[in-house]
Amino acid sequence: MTWTQAAFGRITLGLTALGFVILLAIGVGLVWMVQETRGYASAVVATQQIRVTTAEVFSSLQDAETGQRGYLLTGDAAYLEPYRQAEAQLDSELERLATQVAADGGNIPVQEELRWRIEAKLAELRQTIELAESGDMPGATALMRDGRGKTLMDDVRQVLNGIEQRTAARQERRSASMDRAGRILLLVAASGLVLIALVSLGTLRVAMLYTRELESAQAALRGSNAGLEQRVAARTTSLMAANEEIQRFAYIVSHDLRAPLVNVMGFTQELETAIEAVRGLVQRAGTEAPSLVTQEVRDAVEEDIPEAIGFIRSSTNRMDRLIGAILALSREGRRRLAEEPVAVQGLLEGIAASLQHQLDRAGAEITLQPPFPTLRTDRLALEQILGNLLDNATKYLDPARPGRILLRARREAGLNAIDVVDNGRGIAARDHARVFELFRRSGPQDQPGEGIGLAHTRALARRMGGDIRLTSTLGVGSTFTLLLPDALPAPDPAPASQTEELPA
Amino acid sequence: MNVSAQAVTIVMIEDDDGHARLIEKNLKRAGVYNDVLHLNSGTAAVEHLFGPGRQGGAPVLVLLDLNLPDMSGIDILARLKADPVLRLAPVIVLTTTDDDREIRRCYELGCSVYITKPVNYETFAQAVRQLGLFLAVIQVPPTAP
């Protein structure tokens, strides 16, 4: 599976969100549990209070009974004090118990029964005491002995026990549900933590997978980069080999072409020499035996043969120059460029001075527009290039206006651009590429040349790590721009060491 | 015509018959009537110059084309200049190559004149005459053992 950065982001974000949701749920559960615990605690307190109150109620009732017994046995009114106190307290205690039981969710009818039974007991006590106070001691004692008081007391105890038992049962139920809730919460929290742990592990794994994938992608990239460099090196080597091959080819071909050409030229010379002899003979025949010399013979000797020889000679001469040019080019391609600091301005001034004669004759002038850079390059090659460009600018001026040639330098895309701007006859747009081709020329062929200069110039500029560009409008002027780096590219691809192996 | 110069045989090592013929004709035309021995391959030249049947003391002038199909003229030049007898023979290199490096190498090996084809036969004949005379002059004392 391939992880895109977006997928990785979505997955980790989703997992993190899930983790947060689980944490939140656990938090909510805890808050609920705390709330529950608080309720449970207060319920425990309420239960205890009910117990205490029931105990108090019973104790007060016993106090009242004890007081009654003491009074009835001794007749001492002092014993009535606890009775009266208990009677007074019971009312508020019962009230409190009722409230507490009601708050605890207890049974109201049972409360009523309790009140009713306590009142019955109190009424029994009150009756005996009243009888005793009125002096009917035996009546009071008899009433006490008949066991009704005990029965009433037992009833009260029973009711109180019932209340206590039910309260305890409620407490038991609460405790059980509390316990259950606690277990559930524990379970939920534990599973939540397990889930969070799983989510974290998942996130970690996703991150690791993603990182591993990134690493392998980087490794692949490094590999392909290395491969690319190797391929570039291989291509460069094969290009250099091809370039060398072309140069050897040009060298060999031009030599082998020259051999038959030498014969053509030599034997043309022979023919010319031979025709001289024939011409002498024809002239002599013309004077000594005119009938022998027909017009046809005269034409052949005087015109046709010399004309044919003339054409052969001019053609072979041209061919010889072309072959010479190819040889020169191939030789130039093999020359090792030597880097040295070259001040362009000084170089241009030198070239301009050497062209002064032609410039004066054409009524033209060259203007240098400083500043010019100092380049680390091959002086001879730069001189050849600029010399060729300036020579062309001087040669192809427009006779209709005074020639103006401007030289200037500037920076362009990290390279040094040297412009040779002229107001000469210009080059038609369709010839802009052609003029840089070998043996191709443009415009009226009124100047000597083989169409080699610009081809050579561009080949040189490219070897020096630069190029030549042309912008021109026919009839307006041309701008040749030489682009060169600050220094020669290294290493120089000229296969200088192999020139020794070239065939003679 | 210098009689001693007549003794010099011109050995022409040239694979192109046309070139050979032109050279011969132009030499005659320029008044050089020495015997011209035309060898049209490197193998034939080596056979003649260094083979078992070679003439020991006869003075020779060698016209050498560098661009032979079966071997490099440079090798023949090197062998000539390494030979105890033939090293004295003047060698005129006649070739289509006008490469500076090539020319320098030939002169280093000891060639007398380097002429580029197409040949200006005036200068060529002049060179042959002078070298032939030079050879004749140094041939006057008996050859060193």
- What tens digit of pLDDT does each residue of B2-35 get? 444 446 888 999 988 888 988 888 888 888 888 8
3-state secondary structure of A32: helix
pLDDT tens for each residue of A385-425: 999 999 989 888 888 888 899 999 999 888 999 999 998 88
Please name the residues between 355 and 374 in chain A that touch chain B, using a CB distance below 8 Å. none
Q: What is the ipTM of this complex?
A: 0.72
A263/B117 touch (CB, cutoff 8 Å), yes or no: no
A504 touches chain B (CB under 8 A): yes
Both tokens assigned to B77? 């030049």
Q: Give me the residues paired with residue A477 across strands.
A: A473
pLDDT-based confidence at residue B57 (cuts at 50, 70, 90): low
Q: Of B64, B61, B140, which is closest to residue B95 (Cα–Cα)?
A: B64
CA diameter of chain A: 216
CA distance B120 to chain A (A): 10
A267 touches chain B (CB under 8 A): yes
pLDDT tens for each residue of A460-476: 888 888 899 999 888 88
DSSP-H helix ranges across A104-147: 108-133, 137-145
CA distance B42 to chain A (A): 14
The contacts found for A425-432 with CB under 8 angstroms, 24 or more apart, are A425/A396, A425/A397, A425/A398, A425/A474, A425/A475, A426/A398, A426/A472, A426/A473, A426/A474, A426/A475, A426/A476, A426/A477, A426/A478, A427/A470, A427/A472, A427/A474, A427/A478, A428/A474, A429/A472, A429/A474, A432/A470, A432/A472
> Which is it for strands A477-484 and A467-473: parallel, antiparallel or unpaired?
antiparallel
pLDDT tens for each residue of A163-203: 888 888 888 888 888 888 888 888 888 888 898 888 889 88
Q: Name the CATH superfamily for A337-499.
A: Histidine kinase-like ATPase, C-terminal domain (3.30.565.10)
CATH ID of A5-213, from 1.20.120.1730, 1.20.1510.10, 3.40.630.30, 3.40.50.1240: 1.20.120.1730
Both tokens assigned to A445? 């062929």
How far apart are alpha carbons A472 and A194 in whole angstroms? 80
Q: Is the peptide bond before A371 cis (omega within 30 degrees of 0)?
A: yes
Burial class (CB in 10 A: 0-12, 13-18, 19+), A231: exposed
Question: Per residue in B80-109, is it b (16+ CB within 10 Å) or e — as a string?
Answer: bbeeeebebbbbbbbbbbbbeebbebbeeb
Q: What does CATH list as the number for B3-139?
A: 3.40.50.2300
pLDDT-based confidence at residue A482 (cuts at 50, 70, 90): very high
pTM, to two decimals: 0.50
Task: Name the phi and psi angles at B51, rounded to 5.
Answer: -70, 175
CA distance B6 to chain A (A): 25
Q: Of A444, A423, A273, A483, which is closest to residue B121 (Cα–Cα)?
A: A273
Q: Is the peptide bond before B118 cis (omega within 30 degrees of 0)?
A: yes
Mutate which: B91, B99, B106, B119, vs A, most A CBs within 10 A: B99
pLDDT above 50 (res A98):
yes
Mutate which: B117, B121, B122, B124, vs A, most A CBs within 10 A: B117
A320 touches chain B (CB under 8 A): yes
CA distance A498 to chain B (A): 12
Tell me, what's the pLDDT at A3?
Answer: 63
Rg (CA), chain B: 14
Q: Give me the residues paired with residue A409 across strands.
A: A418
B97/A504 touch (CB, cutoff 8 Å), yes or no: yes
Delimit the domains of chain B by residue range. Answer: 3-139
Q: Of B101, B38, B51, which is closest to residue B74 (Cα–Cα)?
A: B101
Task: Name the phi and psi angles at A471, rounded to 5.
Answer: -125, 135
Average pLDDT, chain A: 84
Mutate which: B21, B77, B97, vs A, most A CBs within 10 A: B97
Delimit the domains of chain A by residue range. Answer: 5-213, 238-332, 337-499
A259 touches chain B (CB under 8 A): yes
Both tokens assigned to B116? 């580029």
A494 touches chain B (CB under 8 A): no
Q: What percent of chain A has pLDDT over 70?
A: 96
Cα pseudo-dihedral A366, A371, A373, A378, rounded to 10? 20
Tell me, what's the pLDDT at A81?
Answer: 85
How far apart are alpha carbons A395 and A325 in whole angstroms? 20
CB atoms within 10 A of CB A92: 11
CA distance B129 to chain A (A): 21
A501 touches chain B (CB under 8 A): no
Residue of B nearest to A251 (CA): B97
Tell me, what's the pLDDT at B145?
Answer: 43
Q: Is the peptide bond before A491 cis (omega within 30 degrees of 0)?
A: yes
Tell me, what's the pLDDT at A320?
Answer: 85
Cα pseudo-dihedral A375, A377, A380, A381, rounded to 10? -110
pLDDT above 80 (res A503):
no
pLDDT-based confidence at residue B56 (cuts at 50, 70, 90): low
